[in-house]
């Protein structure tokens, strides 16, 4: 099996990548590379942040590196929390605190605001410190009045994808992984990797090292 490095410290993302790419790749994240410190995210867009994370990690790891920058954009909050999704309620905020802040901000709006929202995910592919490509996925939906469900992570308990009544946190992982922004970005990623593979140097998608 081939090994694909995901430049993330978020174990929830890694689990989803493993579920999404599982049959084809052994997914490894930066827990296997403690020498790579978390990267400051100073970009203005998901693409800029994903690119910085992928380039930084790929300087120190051989092979292709994929970084994910993702978040929730709420229409009536002018796209917030957006690129600040992980730290909406402050640096090191817990998921519950971010969700609480989001519901508070919506509740403070008058007249009653639209609850339309979108999850977005940009994946950047880099090798040896150079960006190769970016791909993107998104999913539209609505924000609930209260958190519901115990699965998933982040804003999953308050996000209902369009056409459904259940939040991502109430759905089986397989269904979220069919509908989500990350799932859609991974479909595009797979396609890019498939086209690139014949032309990539041999070390790009590394064979899993023997135990």
- Is 95 catalytic? The answer is no
Q: Is 51 in the site for ligand ITT (CB under 6 A)?
A: no
Q: Is 152 in the site for ligand ITT (CB under 6 A)?
A: yes
Q: Is 184 in the site for ligand ITT (CB under 6 A)?
A: no
Q: What is the C-alpha to C-alpha distance for residues 47 and 53, in angstroms, rounded to an integer?
A: 10
Q: Is 144 in the site for ligand ITT (CB under 6 A)?
A: no
Among 36, 66, 134, 155, binds ligand ITT (CB under 6 A): 155
Q: What is the C-alpha to C-alpha distance for residues 68 and 18, in angstroms, rounded to an integer?
A: 13
Among 64, 68, 135, 167, binds ligand ITT (CB under 6 A): 68
Q: What is the C-alpha to C-alpha distance for residues 128 and 32, in angstroms, rounded to an integer?
A: 18
For residue 149, the 8-state DSSP code is: -
Which residue is closest to ligand ITT by CB? 154
Residue 37 exposed, middle or buried by CB count within 10 Å (0-12, 13-18, 19+):
exposed
Among 182, 184, 185, 186, binds ligand ITT (CB under 6 A): 182
41 vs 140, beta carbon nearer ligand ITT = 41
DSSP track, 85-109: GGGTTSTT--HHHHHHHHHHHHHT-
For residue 128, the 8-state DSSP code is: T
Element (H, E) at 28: strand 25-29
Q: Compose the 94-113 pattern: x for residues touching ligand ITT by CB under 6 A, - for all others.
A: ----x---------------
Q: Are 55 and 131 in contact (CB under 8 A)?
A: yes
Residue of 68, 69, 95, 156 marked active site = 69
Q: Is 127 in the site for ligand ITT (CB under 6 A)?
A: no
Q: What is the C-alpha to C-alpha distance for residues 26 and 116, in angstroms, rounded to an integer?
A: 36
CB of 134 to ligand ITT, least distance (A): 14
Residues that bind ligand ITT in the complex, under the rule CB under 6 A: 8-10, 13, 41, 68-72, 85-86, 98, 119, 152-156, 180, 182
Residues annotated as part of the active site: 69
């Amino acid at each position: 099996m081939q090994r694909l490095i995901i430049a993330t410290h978020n174990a929830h993302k890694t689990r989803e990548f493993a579920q999404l790419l599982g049959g084809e790749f052994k997914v490894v994240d930066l827990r296997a590379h403690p020498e790579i410190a978390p990267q400051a995210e100073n970009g203005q867009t998901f693409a800029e942040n994903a690119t910085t994370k992928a380039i930084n990690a790929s300087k120190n790891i051989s092979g292709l590196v994929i970084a994910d920058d993702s978040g929730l954009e709420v229409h009536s909050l002018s796209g917030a929390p957006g690129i600040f999704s992980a730290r909406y309620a402050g640096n090191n905020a817990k998921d519950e605190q971010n969700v609480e802040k989001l519901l508070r901000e919506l509740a403070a709006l008058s007249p009653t605001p639209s609850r339309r929202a979108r999850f977005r995910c940009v994946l950047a592919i880099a090798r040896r410190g150079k960006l190769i490509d970016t791909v993107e996925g998104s999913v539209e939906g609505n924000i609930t009045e209260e958190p519901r469900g115990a699965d998933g992570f982040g804003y999953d308990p308050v996000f209902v994808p369009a056409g459904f009544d259940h939040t991502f946190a109430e759905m089986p992982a397989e269904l979220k992984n069919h509908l989500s922004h990350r799932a859609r970005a991974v479909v595009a990623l797979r396609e890019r990797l498939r086209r690139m593979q014949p032309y990539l140097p041999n070390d790009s998608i590394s064979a899993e090292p023997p135990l």
